[in-house]
Amino acid sequence: MEIRIATQLSTLGHPQRLAIFRMLMRRMPDRVPAGEIADALDIKPSTLSSYLSNLLDAGLLIQTRVGTSLRYSVNVTNVQGMLDFLLLDCCRGRPDMCSPLAAGFGQGAIDMSLKKFNVLFICTGNSARSIFAETILRDLAGDRFEVFSAGTKPYSELNLIALDVLRKKGHEISGLRAKNVQEVMADGAPKFDFVFTVCDQAANEDCPAWSGQPISAHWGMVDPVKATGSDAERSLAFQAAYGALRNRISAFTALPMTTLDRISLQKAVDDIGQMTEEDASA
């Protein structure tokens, strides 16, 4: 056990191997193509292949073939074993050091009756998908959630087709605006309880860790802004994105929050993120 843990820690001691691992953790439970990892982290394919082999040999990643593509995801079982070993070994005789860390990941039921929980949706431009999500959740369960959205681009504008879809669905759009993520990370910004990325590019970016250890998940969606074709075909892409997000958010609001512990709630939001396009838009 000690030898395997030492190998895993040594493997993660390299900055770029650590960056790959962190990106795949943010994308959990997605299986990400090697080419996308290389593009996101600006690593040469030959170099990436070596780093991925190191991580696979250490038991930190899983490689899966999907058609002709090799895809990579975190080996959750082995990573959990590594963390469990470190925490248990650390806590031998010094629970005062480890208890505060463990308390942040408490397994008791989350009392949703105490307050409205803050939810943040992140996308690249905050022009369509994250705006859809913000609006839908606010209208479906604004009595239980304070909802925010933001983009990772320095500047963006709301997409006119997205606004038209929202208007036709009966949503109020007058207060919507595109925001950069720095606005919701500044001093005095809300403390978030849930943070969801709704596009792969935003999830691939190395944003700073959120304070307060919010529950986070990746709900990647096809970008309707990139749709081509006639006006009707482009509108259909936005309609599909809206419908898929609405079904995912409906599933989220239906979770029995007051009876789920943190681990169960994390699994539930991860499962929602794995809904297929057919499931999400049904």
At 111-160, the pLDDT tens digits run: 555 578 899 999 999 999 999 999 999 999 999 999 999 999 888 899 99
Sign of the Cα pseudo-torsion (64, 201, 21, 261, in order): negative
Q: What angle (nearest 5°) sits at the alpha carbon of residue 165, between those of residues 248 and 137? A: 35
Q: How many other C-beta atoms can be found within 10 angstroms of the C-beta atom of residue 83? A: 11
Please check whether the two domains, 2-76 and 117-280, share a CATH topology: no
Q: What angle (nearest 5°) sits at the alpha carbon of residue 150, between those of residues 199 and 132? A: 65
Predicted structure pTM score: 0.78
Q: What angle (nearest 5°) sits at the alpha carbon of residue 173, between those of residues 172 and 178? A: 150
Residue 190 has what pLDDT? Answer: 87
Exposure b/e, 35-53, CB count within 10 A at least 16 = b: ebbbebbebeeeebeebbe
| Confidence label for 90 from pLDDT (cuts 50, 70 and 90) | low
At 18-72, the pLDDT tens digits run: 999 999 998 888 899 999 999 999 999 999 999 999 999 999 999 999 888 899 9
Would the pLDDT of 11 be above 90?
Answer: yes
Q: Which residue has the higher pLDDT, 108 or 80?
A: 80
Inter-helix orientation angle 2-12/45-57, to 10°: 160
Q: Which of these, 100, 94, 63, 98, lies nearest to 83 by C-alpha position?
A: 98
Would the pLDDT of 101 be above 70?
Answer: no
| Confidence label for 99 from pLDDT (cuts 50, 70 and 90) | low
Structural Rg of the chain based on CA atoms: 20
For domain 2-76, the CATH class is: mainly alpha
3-state secondary structure the chain: CHHHHHHHHHHHCCHHHHHHHHHHHHCCCCCEEHHHHHHHHCCCHHHHHHHHHHHHHCCCEEEEEECCEEEEEECHHHHHHHHHHHHHHHCCCCHHHHHHHHHCCCCCECCCCCCCEEEEEEECCCCCHHHHHHHHHHHHHCCCEEEEEEECCCCCCCCHHHHHHHHHCCCCCCCCCCCEHHHHCCCCCCCCCEEEECCHHHHHCCCCCCCCCCEEEECCCCCHHHCCCCHHHHHHHHHHHHHHHHHHHHHHHCCCHHHCEHHHHHHHHHHHHCCCHHHHCC
CA 31, distance to chain mean position in Å, is 13
Residue 210 has what pLDDT? Answer: 75
At 207-256, the pLDDT tens digits run: 666 777 789 999 988 899 999 999 999 999 999 999 999 999 999 999 98
Distance from C-alpha of 142 to C-alpha of 119, rounded to nearest angstrom:
11
Would the pLDDT of 163 be above 80?
Answer: yes
| Confidence label for 108 from pLDDT (cuts 50, 70 and 90) | very low
Residue 154 has what pLDDT? Answer: 86
Residue 95 has what pLDDT? Answer: 58
Would the pLDDT of 105 be above 60?
Answer: no
Retrieve residue 276's tokens. 């297929």
| Cis peptide, bond prior to residue 214, ω within 30 of zero | no
Where do the domains of the chain lie? 2-76, 117-280
Would the pLDDT of 88 be above 70?
Answer: yes
Would the pLDDT of 93 be above 70?
Answer: no
At 249-276, the pLDDT tens digits run: 999 999 988 888 888 999 999 999 988 6
The CATH fold of domain 117-280 = Rossmann fold (3.40.50)
Q: List 32's β-bridge partners, or say none.
A: 72
Would the pLDDT of 195 be above 60?
Answer: yes
| Confidence label for 107 from pLDDT (cuts 50, 70 and 90) | very low
Query: What count of residues does the chain have?
Result: 282
Fill in the amino acid letter for 103.
A
